[in-house]
A and B are shown apart, each in its own frame.
Chain A
């Protein structure tokens, strides 16, 4: 199968690779960039484990081909804590037991980070709606919802 040169910025680093047009962004990130924090839980756009940000928007990387992201700016879960310090969402997930097995966690952390960038002080309903595209099978979502409330509060406190 023919390949195409694709270039994009991933977590601030320029990446160039030759990929088949059918290669998903998720597989590009995992295989070509060796960023395995982006997980594949369903590969049909429901579970949200593969959520990354493309140009600041939370996107399911299993439903996007790498070639469609040409010239884009991608942030994966690895890019949220580049200096090793957890971002407010990650820190809140730790504080509120928002994860157990951790497989869905990167998708939730990216989705919640994008949600709070868009809406810094969401209501409980807005948080629930905002995360309804991510599936978790371990936590029953209790710690996740508490974590996003906590992150919103800590980010609000930091800004004020």
Chain B
């Protein structure tokens, strides 16, 4: 697709080189946590609550303990007092991970009550069946929209709380004339947008293998996680032992999408069990556990108001945002009302927000954790267009920021300098052939077909520089062989980091891509990194890799200059050779430079340092690094089945220069299909008593090859000034934009029937209900 770019592609940066990860993964030689076995290893399984809220009145584990092959059964009383503080560097001391097992009462279905450790997972599950537990059930708090007002049923009553509101911020106008603007606006449009509960669902569920070695007093952990360093420092506090006594690795991780960013209470229990038993203990959850108890997301509601002038300028936007954080949220603090105006020239903003506890599984991060601001705004804009009888595309055209409007500071304080909202909208409309689509839609409606177009424009705050997330480290080393290794603090779980970061190092140093190996996801050899998430690898880890490589390049040049009796300024490196510019016959291979630097180090003069290694920490010069995109979705609803089928899906996005375009497109497509799933197929449902109804893949439906379109992707390329590569993050965008694009497409397909789509999911039952309510069935 078309690209507007000023940066010259490198030999490797900008190229879709083959992935270094693929060969092992394609031949069945990946190493996920369940693929690791240690001598003497035991297997863990949890007894979980099947009651949403209640008091444990009896817990009898004697029969389980007596079963052959069972090594230990733990309840809270066994673990009490065996651990220290339980907080993450990124989230701070205030947010302690809940106790590893329930203490006296349960607060959601799936809460772990007891841990069995046995010679096999089969035996551990047998023992679970033998545990007798009685729970005196109380009335569960399930509806988060009414939970804050409920003063009778309190989720955390046992903590002495009297409210279900974890956080409540009253309405806050960020513009002094907000009321006046709404009072005088030509149009005020108001609606409530409801987003359904859906989940990360990595194909590899959670898992950990903890191995305590008595005598050495060391803990070796293999975890399915997004950050080995965060896992290590967490368990250093938790076990009250030095970081140096803990090694965490994650060779291959089968997806995360935010879910595996933080340590879970179950993992705490397994680590404690290993220390108490002095043996390796592995826990790999099953799919029911993952759906039930790993973390839930997206369950949010917002009442949105738009003030619109006579010329269709949107002059103010407000939201009253309520988010369900469940009982024990692994990561609740992911609301950002400052993002509400998004990529629009909307000058005024106001908001209130509430994060509400319920007796359901806790909220966790999921790819674009603050995407509800986009869903709320984009669905409200479509609602406004329907209400005013105007074209939703036209309403966006009048209000989206264009490059010529920049720099622009949003009423939430976000400064945009290098984004292209209007440009990506026009690009996407061209890819679609917008006018032709509208003609086709008129024809389709005349034939009684339900065809609709959904639009979603957004900005994505990538590489957020909050506290521990602000920096990444890299160590780059030319080895004694002349080959290059780069040690990064990242923990890839599908992002192709071994590939893309090798591209950055190879280009920056001037060596072959095949000669660079990236080591990551191992605590003892790599610099600290806060974890892979938040679309931060290209910008921050990429910046670190580049800066460390430049420092190594200087060392290579210094050694080569001495050996070749040339001036450093006359040298260049390309294709793995150092040569005198203009005299390519005079050159040294990287192996020869390495020999001079290591084997013949005694011959180097003092001003040329030994070794070819550098470690650098990199911090972008400003936060965040903004990227942006426009999504277009076309759906056709089958009137008989009420199934909405995505006919076309178009993304025009601007993530700056791409390190590996194929990897970028893969990230976009993956996110988009998660959004399509979230609207049309996926929905995690509780009944009124807090019983989960969707704990298998037969009930919780993921998209398959038969439900997804070809995702058409175009790129508009503007460089970011936050980092030397000009890169922008983009890992979450697909999932941020797709929800509203798909929902708006369904809305557009039904609008002429008088149906106003403001709520997801939009599965066949939901669409059927809408048609029946509109008398159009």
Contacts and interface: CB of A to CB of B under 8 A. Distances in A.
A22 B203 CA distance: 24
Given A39-B32, A97-B666, A128-B706, A102 B287 contact: no
Contact of B255 (A132, A134, A137): A137
B494 A102 contact: yes
A99 B28 contact: no
Interface string B1-33: 000000000000000101101110111111110
B275 interface: no
B696 A46 contact: yes
Contacts of A116: none
Contacts of B666: 97, 100, 138-140, 142-143
A100 B494 contact: yes
B705 interface: yes
Interface centre among A36, A84, A104, A143 (most CB of B within 10 A): A36
Nearest to B224: A103
Contact of B493 (A37, A99, A101, A143): A101
A100 B705 contact: no
B203 A137 contact: yes
A105 B25 CA distance: 7
Interface stretch (A2-10, A53-61, A75-83): A75-83
Interface residues of A, number: 56
A100 B705 CA distance: 16
Contacts of B203: 39, 41, 47, 49, 101, 103-104, 135-138
A74 interface: no
Nearest to B204: A103
Interface in A8-36: 20, 22-23, 30, 35-36
B244 interface: no
Contacts of B122: 20, 22-23
A97 to B, nearest CB: 5
A110 B703 CA distance: 20
Interface string B209-231: 00000000000000000000000
A95 B703 CA distance: 24
Contacts of B669: 139-143
Contacts of B25: 99, 102, 105
B32 A38 contact: no
Interface stretch (B263-271, B592-600, B670-678): B670-678
B673 A140 contact: yes
A129 B706 CA distance: 6
B287 A137 contact: no
Given A44-B287, A47-B203, A140-B672, A97 B663 contact: yes
Nearest to B200: A137
Interface in B231-285: 252-255, 257
Contact of A141 (B16, B23, B705): B705
Contacts of A78: 27-29
A125 to B, nearest CB: 9
B204 A37 contact: no
B64 to A, nearest CB: 16
A76 B703 CA distance: 25
A35 B710 CA distance: 34
A81 B29 CA distance: 11
Contacts of B19: 94, 97
Interface string B683-705: 00000000000001110001111
Interface centre among B27, B665, B666 (most CB of A within 10 A): B27
Contact of B201 (A35, A36, A76, A137): A137
B286 interface: yes
Contacts of A132: 704-706
B253 A101 contact: yes
A37 B27 contact: yes
Contact of A102 (B254, B708, B734): B254
Interface in A123-160: 127-129, 131-145
Contact of B673 (A109, A133, A141): A141
Interface centre among A46, A47, A99, A102 (most CB of B within 10 A): A102
Contacts of A47: 203, 287, 697
B662 interface: yes
A44 to B, nearest CB: 6
Interface in B709-760: 710-711, 734
A101 B494 contact: yes
Nearest to A76: B28
Nearest to A22: B122
Interface in B476-534: 493-496
Nearest to B126: A1
A67 interface: no
A89 B495 CA distance: 22
Contacts of A141: 669, 673, 703-705, 708
B502 to A, nearest CB: 16
A50 to B, nearest CB: 11
Nearest to A81: B27
Interface in B181-205: 201-205
Contacts of A84: 27
Nearest to B649: A140
Interface centre among A84, A100, A109 (most CB of B within 10 A): A100
Contact of A131 (B257, B663, B671, B705): B705
Contacts of B711: 140, 142
A78 B35 CA distance: 14
Contacts of B253: 101
Contact of B28 (A35, A94, A138): A35
A4 B669 CA distance: 47
A95 B19 CA distance: 9
Nearest to B22: A94
Contacts of B426: none
A49 B697 CA distance: 13
A2 B300 CA distance: 51
A79 B624 CA distance: 47
A144 to B, nearest CB: 7
A132 B253 CA distance: 23
A37 B287 CA distance: 18
A42 B695 CA distance: 11
Given A93-B22, A104-B203, A43 B697 contact: no
A47 B671 CA distance: 19
Nearest to B26: A90
B34 interface: yes
A138 B696 contact: no
B225 to A, nearest CB: 13
A42 B23 CA distance: 24
Contacts of B702: 135, 137
Contact of B21 (A42, A86, A102, A137): A102
B26 A99 contact: yes
B28 to A, nearest CB: 2
Given A22-B122, A137-B670, 15 more contacts: A36-B32, A36-B34, A37-B28, A42-B286, A44-B287, A44-B697, A46-B697, A86-B26, A94-B22, A97-B665, A101-B252, A102-B30, A129-B706, A137-B257, A142-B710
Please list the 6 inter-chain residue pairs (A to B) with the smallest Cβ-Cβ separation, ordered nearest first: A37-B28, A103-B254, A102-B25, A101-B494, A140-B673, A140-B669
Interface of B: 16, 18-19, 21-23, 25-32, 34-35, 122, 201-205, 252-255, 257, 286-287, 493-496, 662-663, 665-667, 669-674, 696-698, 702-706, 708, 710-711, 734
Interface of A: 20, 22-23, 30, 35-44, 46-47, 49, 76-78, 80-81, 84, 86, 90, 93-95, 97, 99-106, 109, 127-129, 131-145
15 contacts: A36-B31, A39-B32, A44-B697, A47-B203, A81-B26, A101-B253, A105-B25, A128-B705, A129-B705, A135-B702, A139-B673, A140-B666, A140-B671, A140-B711, A141-B704
